[in-house]
Amino acid sequence: MTQGGFDFDAGIQRVAGVDEVGRGPLAGDVVAAAVILDPQQPIAGLADSKKLTAKRREALAEQIKSQALAWCVARASVAEIDELNILQASLLAMRRAVAGLSVVPEFCQIDGNRLPTGLPCPAEAVVGGDGKVEAISAASILAKVQRDQELVELDQRFPQYGFARHKGYPTAEHLAALAEHGVTDHHRRSYAPVQRALARDRTI
């Protein structure tokens, strides 16, 4: 869990935007972020992280970390995904992100149509929120930059899988690598393509 923040005017309403990244991949943790933006320091160019270039996301992530009132990046592990299912693991990661904020939000806006339980404040689900609400956009950017970095690092350990290119998603390249090289400890065993690879009894 990673967090940041600084002192703020207590009169400012503290609204946290929350999003997660990584439901679809076959490998790696699901990563969530929560961000409370500073109305006094607007950040230009916030948008759905999927619609930004990697270079732009990385630049915005640094700006968000330096200018937001508070931010936190959290996760649910591959083991938790396999135990709980990906939806519940995603909600868990989002709850952890909110809990890790250095200041308690007064309200949360959550991307999607489901709310995590156990939040410290009222919340609303916003379908397509990463393209509508700046704080959710900021959260989506932090989560995606963090997760992408982790998959690049995983690629250095397992270059035969191409993680740096597909970020764990079930591309043709990734499926072919699973068939040839088997399953790592970083693959989600509850996902059908991984189960098929396990059935071939090729593990590393």
Clarify whether residues 115 and 57 are in a common domain: yes
The mean pLDDT value of the chain amounts to 93
Alpha-carbon span 134 to 48, nearest angstrom: 9
Return the axis-axis angle of helices 54-67 and 134-157, rounded to nearest 10°. 120
SS3 17: strand
Position 180 confidence tier, pLDDT thresholds 50, 70, 90:
very high
Residue 134, SS3 per DSSP: helix
Q: Which helix (H) or strand (E) holds 58?
A: helix 54-67
Q: What percent of the chain has pLDDT over 90?
A: 91
Q: Which pLDDT value is given to residue 201?
A: 63
Q: What's the total number of domains in the chain?
A: 2
Residue 98: inside a domain: yes
pLDDT tens, position by position, 26-73: 999 999 999 999 999 999 999 999 999 999 999 999 999 999 999 999
Identify whether residues 82 and 125 lie together within a single domain: yes
Does 72 share its domain with 43? yes
Give me the sheet containing 107-111, strands edge to edge. 2-5, 70-76, 30-36, 15-21, 107-111, 123-126
146 & 61 share domain: yes
Backbone φ and ψ of 35, nearest 5°: -140, 130
What are 72-99's pLDDT values in tens digits? 999 999 999 999 999 999 999 999 999 9
pLDDT at 4: 52
Closest CA to 31 of 68, 64, 71, 62: 71
What's the confidence (pLDDT) of residue 200? 81
pLDDT of 35 = 98
Same domain for 168 and 125: no
In this prediction, residue 36 carries a pLDDT of 98
Do 118 and 177 sit in the same domain of this protein? no
97-126 confidence digits (pLDDT tens): 999 999 999 999 999 999 999 999 999 999
Percent helix / strand / coil, the chain, rounded to 5: 45, 20, 35
Domain that holds residue 147: 2-155
Same domain, yes or no: 34 and 78 = yes
Residues 91 and 168 in one domain: no
Residue 204 in domain: no
The domain that contains 94 carries what CATH number? 3.30.420.10
Q: Which residue has the higher pLDDT, 11 or 93?
A: 93
Mean per-residue pLDDT, 171-190: 96
Q: What is the pLDDT of residue 76?
A: 98
